[in-house]
């Protein structure tokens, strides 16, 4: 049997390996920072605010990163992201007295830039590595990359807790930086130099998408991720701690397990949503968004009707994770499908800018709404955001003919 891998598959494996290694350190870094500052006596809301710049710079990076990827090549933007993450980790190895809130926020800002350069590069690369008119293969590769990333991010949460216990905060950062530096050097050597570079150098004004389909999908994505983070980022962990008297390890362990399961569902999304050889389009995105909108609304209604709180919330959270994972995987496929072959990172970067904007809005609202009004209001706002996602998705190309037209329109 011939076991020789094609050049495209080899490049895909390198891109995936880079993405996995980065994701593990990203998840571990978040858990290390949360646990360390929790030990220092910071409140949950104060800890969440440490990640504000992480989300803000994700918006900026995706907007400009796509343009850089089209001009420089996706290998370079991916390697720049890996290098910045190594530096961000090393920033947190300073003596304890230098680990001020401002210093940690600056390190998190760099990590946010690194994360989105890496993610944009990885997702854009797949478009260049899968043959044209192989939409089913494209959907499977995108779903696998997206799902495995979230599974490993959850594993990174566990890894962060283990490293903090075994090595301590500083030595954990040194260990992760050392391993990631080796992967970074290998990536510089092995990753194809012209991957994703546009034939015609895009101008700076081209960072804004001219494709109607991509603009619609980006708007839907923004509200989709705002709907998750408006209750998941701050409100849910604090609620689990306050109402159920869970300790920090129970909260962190539950959320890490949720993210791992969420990633597994994303990887299998093509089997759930695809009928025959035809991958889903805009109609599926709208339908799954409508299904998703029911869940946070039902949880909030259960609170008002005095249903058992623990069973209502945890059961609803499991359902939400399953349906949200399918929604996210569908969107991730559609953006790669809609994106132009030449300068794909421009379209993908614009889309993930909208994704990051949704996360930023959700993070800020999560802290404010929960502190002022409680979890039920966060859930109602989540329902509203998902309803807007479904409403916007009505305008997405539905049939495969419309899908091909949308793709040509963005070319």
Whether 97 shows a pLDDT value over 90: the answer reads no
Residue 66 pLDDT class (50, 70, 90 cuts): low
* pTM for this prediction: 0.81
What values do phi and psi take at 278, rounded to 5?
A: -100, 120
Q: How far apart are CA 184 and CA 208, in angstroms?
A: 30
pLDDT tens digits, residue range 275-302?
766 778 889 999 999 999 999 999 999 9
Q: Are 191 and 104 in contact (CB under 8 A)?
A: no
What values do phi and psi take at 275, rounded to 5?
A: -110, 120
Q: How far is CA 71 from CA 26, 64, 259, in A?
A: 26, 11, 34
pLDDT tens digits, residue range 190-224?
876 665 555 555 555 555 556 788 889 999 999 99
Residue 2 pLDDT class (50, 70, 90 cuts): very low
Residue 353 tokens, joined? 């800018």
Model pLDDT, residue 379: 97
What average pLDDT does this structure show over 24-38?
Answer: 82
Q: Are 63 and 120 in contact (CB under 8 A)?
A: no
**Torsion of the alpha carbons at 287, 292, 295 and 300, rounded to the nearest 10:** -110
Taking Cα atoms as reference points, which of 383, 375, 235 lies closest to residue 296?
383
pLDDT tens digits, residue range 34-63?
778 777 777 766 776 777 788 788 888 877
Whether 89 shows a pLDDT value over 80: the answer reads yes
Q: Which residue has the higher pLDDT, 339 or 168?
A: 168
What average pLDDT does this structure show over 356-363?
Answer: 88
- In sequence order, which residues have a C-beta less than 8 Å from that of residue 104 and are 6 or more positions away? 33, 37, 50, 92
Whether 347 shows a pLDDT value over 80: the answer reads no
Q: How far apart are CA 77 and CA 119, in angstroms?
A: 10
Q: How far is CA 382 from CA 22, 129, 154, 237, 257, in A?
A: 29, 36, 23, 16, 22
Write down how long the chain is.
411
High-pLDDT (> 70) share of the chain, %: 82
Residue 341 pLDDT class (50, 70, 90 cuts): low
Q: How far apart are CA 375 and CA 232, in angstroms?
A: 10
Q: What burial letters (b/e) apply to 4-24, b meaning 16+ CB within 10 Å?
A: eeeeeeebbebbbebbbbbbb
Q: Which residue has the higher pLDDT, 319 or 67?
A: 319
What average pLDDT does this structure show over 375-401?
Answer: 91
pLDDT tens digits, residue range 223-260?
999 999 999 877 888 888 888 888 767 877 888 889 88
Which segment, 115-129, 248-262, 338-352, is predicted with the most confidence on average?
248-262
Model pLDDT, residue 69: 64
Q: How far apart are CA 407 and CA 411, in angstroms?
A: 7
- Mind giving me the DSSP string for 251-277? HHHHHHHHHHHHHHHHHTHHHHH-BTT
Residue 317 pLDDT class (50, 70, 90 cuts): very high
Residue 358 pLDDT class (50, 70, 90 cuts): very high
Model pLDDT, residue 411: 47
Q: Are 22 and 82 in contact (CB under 8 A)?
A: yes
Q: From the options 3.20.20.80, 1.20.1250.20, 3.90.1150.10, 3.40.50.10860, give the CATH code of 7-197+209-409.
A: 1.20.1250.20
Identify the DSSP state of 278: B
Q: Are 403 and 281 in contact (CB under 8 A)?
A: yes
Residue 128 pLDDT class (50, 70, 90 cuts): low
């Amino acid at each position: 049997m011939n076991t020789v891998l094609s050049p495209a598959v080899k490049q895909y494996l390198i891109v995936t390996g880079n993405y996995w290694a980065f994701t593990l350190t990203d998840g571990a870094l978040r858990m290390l920072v949360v646990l360390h500052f929790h030990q220092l006596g910071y409140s949950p809301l104060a800890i969440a605010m440490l990640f504000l710049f992480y989300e803000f710079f994700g918006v900026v990076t995706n907007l400009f990163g796509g343009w850089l990827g089209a001009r420089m090549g996706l290998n370079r933007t991916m390697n720049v992201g890996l290098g910045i993450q190594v530096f961000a980790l090393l920033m947190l190895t300073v003596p304890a007295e230098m680990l001020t809130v401002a210093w940690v926020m600056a390190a998190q800002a760099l990590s946010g830039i690194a994360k989105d350069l890496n993610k944009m590069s990885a997702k854009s690369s797949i478009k260049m590595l899968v043959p044209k008119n192989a939409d089913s293969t494209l959907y499977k590769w995108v779903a696998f990359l997206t799902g495995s990333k979230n599974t490993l991010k959850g594993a990174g949460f566990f890894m962060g807790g283990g490293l903090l216990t075994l090595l301590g905060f500083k030595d954990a950062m040194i260990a992760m930086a050392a391993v990631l530096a080796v992967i970074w050097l290998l990536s510089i050597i092995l990753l194809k130099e012209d991957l994703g570079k546009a034939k015609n150098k895009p101008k700076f004004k081209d960072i804004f998408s001219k494709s109607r389909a991509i603009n619609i999908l980006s708007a839907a994505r923004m509200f989709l991720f705002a709907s998750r983070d408006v209750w998941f980022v701050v409100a849910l962990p604090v609620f689990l701690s306050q109402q159920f008297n869970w300790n920090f390890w129970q909260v962190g362990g539950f959320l890490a397990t949720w993210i791992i399961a969420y990633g597994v569902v994303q990887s299998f999304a093509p089997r759930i949503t695809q009928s025959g050889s035809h991958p889903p389009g805009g109609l599926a995105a709208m339908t799954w968004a409508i299904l998703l909108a029911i869940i946070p609304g039902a949880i909030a209604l259960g609170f008002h009707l005095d249903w058992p709180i623990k069973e209502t919330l945890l059961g609803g959270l499991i359902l939400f994770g399953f349906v949200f994972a399918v929604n996210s995987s569908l969107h991730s496929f559609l953006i790669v499908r809609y994106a132009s072959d030449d300068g794909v990172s421009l379209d993908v970067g614009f889309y993930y800018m909208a994704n990051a904007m949704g996360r930023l809005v959700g993070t800020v609202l999560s802290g404010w709404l929960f502190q002022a009004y409680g979890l039920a209001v966060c859930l109602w706002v989540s329902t509203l955001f998902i309803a807007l996602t479904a409403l916007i998705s009505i305008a997405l190309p539905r049939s495969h003919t419309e899908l091909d037209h949308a793709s040509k329109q963005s070319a």
